[in-house]
Structure 1
């Protein structure tokens, strides 16, 4: 199976697939500056907490790599203090592109720690810059391996849970929300990685996925990934989750996360909370799959997680291919953006994320293992971070 990818690298070139145009048009955009990376993240040309952290770190590394090769070298490489004064505002700027996604903050803080370690060790500006370049690249490189680890942990845990409930652990049906596959990460995926693992090991019957309005990451991106991987799947609109649970045997719900608080409260794409409420009603295991970089131990609970609100206009618009299709000379379908609401509505509520309380979550999976609630009904995440 050949997975899709969100970022591709060649020598000094960084390109991202424009996810706003998928699944009908595959357009690769070159990201040549920090400002372009910020815009791509902010406008959701690239999305998914791990993927945006990777792009930010790679672009930061590219910026410093070019400076190290420049002749004459830029002034900010003249001293460690000058370097610090140059890169700190860049890292702060990149963080502002999507503040809910803790992976991005972790990446910028990691690079800040590398900078400070070099300063404390008395290294010169070039040595510190080289260390920052190396660390930035590692942010992206580490993602694929840990995704495979958490997919296996979560998949095996779900199989055992089904067996404990009297099933045979075969022909599992799993629902997911939003897009958490290779397009949202540096490869393989988190929650969609769990589904992929079950498919690869012959344990999956069918994947179900919600459209995830208003950006439709499910029906545009998850649909494309599952089709590419040839995984049997069924799309539902967001309001059909309750009906699905009433009329079909669903063995588990697997979702990703943009931030997990210390107590297990989890921020994820809007619509996750309602899926968790319905899962609890139907006694279906609800699994959060995310790397340890998504766990924010500095936040006690979900009430302190910042929730990004997107521009109200976005909730009134839908982008897609014209139907019947119109194809250009390159084989691309013509696309359009249409408004589905009256003009000038008085109020539009458009949060990009919601917070699922820990009490509704059955398990939290990272690359370190699976955390479940203890006898006191609380998560202890110490063993998985």
Structure 2
């Protein structure tokens, strides 16, 4: 049985659930160096915008004041603004000593716990209907945060209130975060759910099979354009055509006022091997090339609402 928290601080080290091992095994890793943390971030052992914010802050506590290490940590993944945000929150206290840095990092962790609970309540309050069918992409639950998560926190709250008819999780190629992680979390919370292949999601929305689409976010630009896992944009287009609410659920830390529009968001390409292979098994013939953008950008005019822990924004 996994621990309750995806990421935490314990006896001078960072402890994370290794998400590359799920759902077959639930393994906790103990990270004692910044290099170990950077490796865990890059190979997605820890992932999800809120969790990356906490990882960034706790990583500064591991760095022992080494600003070069901190700079490497800050740049480990480019699209999610939360990683840099978390690093900067803790690094602002470097001149005050290690205890102050750790205290700042733990505040980031505790704020995330409170934010995820608040987003779940606020998002559930926003949606109308007693028995809702909701669709989501990637993984936005506790595995993407410390506990509960963002969009999946709304799903969990609906389930706890008896208002969830069914959750549809898109598989999320190429790394199958929806198939491996979201279904694992939905099963643990006892929520009724079914897995859907990515390309079927927009079709089901268009046919009236979904009451709301809920996604997380890795960065929200100043105008409301939102970067999220690849596949989100297609769902937004389908939701707009079908008249279905398309709701982004993300903490205030994901809103980047310094990024004017989605055109200014750097989209990470994770390289061809994730597309050409699946867990070590080659899918395409040798010599095949691939593109692998990990995120897409949904324009603000396709977004019904952005739910944070503090407010509901209607772009």
Aligned to 1:99: 78
Alignment of 1:71-86 (within 5 A): 86=65
Task: State the match for 2:313 in structure 1.
Answer: 371
Compute the displacement of 1:10 (Å): 3.0
Could you report, residue by residue, the CA deviation over 1:323-355 in whole angstroms, capped at 9, with x for unpaired residues?
xxxxxxxxxxxxxx211111111x311001000
Structure 1: tracts of 5 or more residues without a match: 65-85, 119-126, 160-168, 320-336, 373-378, 380-385
Cα 1:45/1:208, change in 2 over 3 Å: same
Q: CA deviation at 1:114?
A: 3.0
| Match of residue 5 from structure 1 | 5
Structure 1 position 37 matched with structure 2 position 37: yes
Of 99, 113, 118, the residue aligned with 1:149 is: 118
Matched residues in 2 for 1:94 and 1:61: separation?
12
- d(CA) in 2 for partners of 1:262, 1:242: 27
SS at match of 1:183: helix
Q: Is the 8 A contact 2:166 2:194 kept in 1?
A: yes
- Match for residue 281 of structure 1? 241
SS at match of 1:354: strand
Partner Cα distance (1:5, 1:225) in 2: 12
- 1:55-101 deviations in Å (ceiling 9; x for gaps): 2322322444xxxxxxxxxxxxxxxxxxxxx4332221111111111
1:229 deviates by: 0.7
Mapped to 2, the partners of 1:248 and 1:102 lie a distance apart of 34
| CA–CA separation in structure 2 for the residues paired with 1:260 and 1:246 | 26
Q: 2:294 aligns with which of 338, 347, 352?
A: 352
Residue 217 in structure 1 maps to residue 177 in structure 2: yes
- Aligned partners of 2:208 and 2:242 also within 8 Å: no
Cα distance in 2 between the residues matched to 1:57 and 1:242 = 37
Contact preservation (8 Å) 2:54, 2:108: yes
Please point out which of 201, 205, 220 is paired with 2:165: 205
Instruction: Provide closer, same or farther for how the CA distance between residues 3 and 241 of structure 1 changes in structure 2, counting only shifts above 3 A.
Output: farther
Aligned to 2:284: 341
Shift of 1:361: 0.5
Aligned position for 2:278 = 318
Match 2:107 to one of 107, 131, 138: 138
State the secondary structure of the residue aligned to 2:238.
Answer: helix
Q: Could you say which residue in structure 1 is the equivalent of 2:231?
A: 271
Please state how far the C-alpha of 1:130 moved relative to its aligned partner: 2.3
Write the distance in 2 (CA, Å) between the matches of 1:13 and 1:242. Answer: 43
Correspondence for 1:129 among 98, 117, 120:
98
CA distance in 2, matches of 1:4, 1:141: 14
Contact 1:149–1:367 under 8 Å retained in 2: yes
Q: Distance in 1 between matches of 2:259 and 2:10?
A: 38
**Pairing partner for 2:262 from 272, 297, 302:** 302
Separation in structure 2 between the aligned mates of residue 242 and residue 103 of structure 1, nearest angstrom: 28
In the aligned structure 1, how far is the partner of 2:270 from the partner of 2:33?
24
Q: Taking structure 1 as reference, are residues 208 and 3 closer, same or farther at Cα in structure 2, changes over 3 Å only?
A: farther
| 2:49 is equivalent to residue 89 of structure 1 | no
2:186: which partner in 1?
Answer: 226
TM-score by length of 1: 0.78
1:60 and 1:96 map into 2 onto residues whose CA distance is: 13
Q: 1:213 to 1:29 in 2, by over 3 A?
A: same
- Return the alpha-carbon distance in structure 2 between the equivalents of residues 12 and 111 of structure 1: 16
Pairwise CA RMSD: 1.6
**Residues 3 and 225 in structure 1, CA contact (< 8 A), matched pair in contact too:** no
In structure 2, relative to structure 1, the CA distance for the partners of 1:261 and 1:350 (3 Å cut) is same
State how many pairs are aligned.
Answer: 314
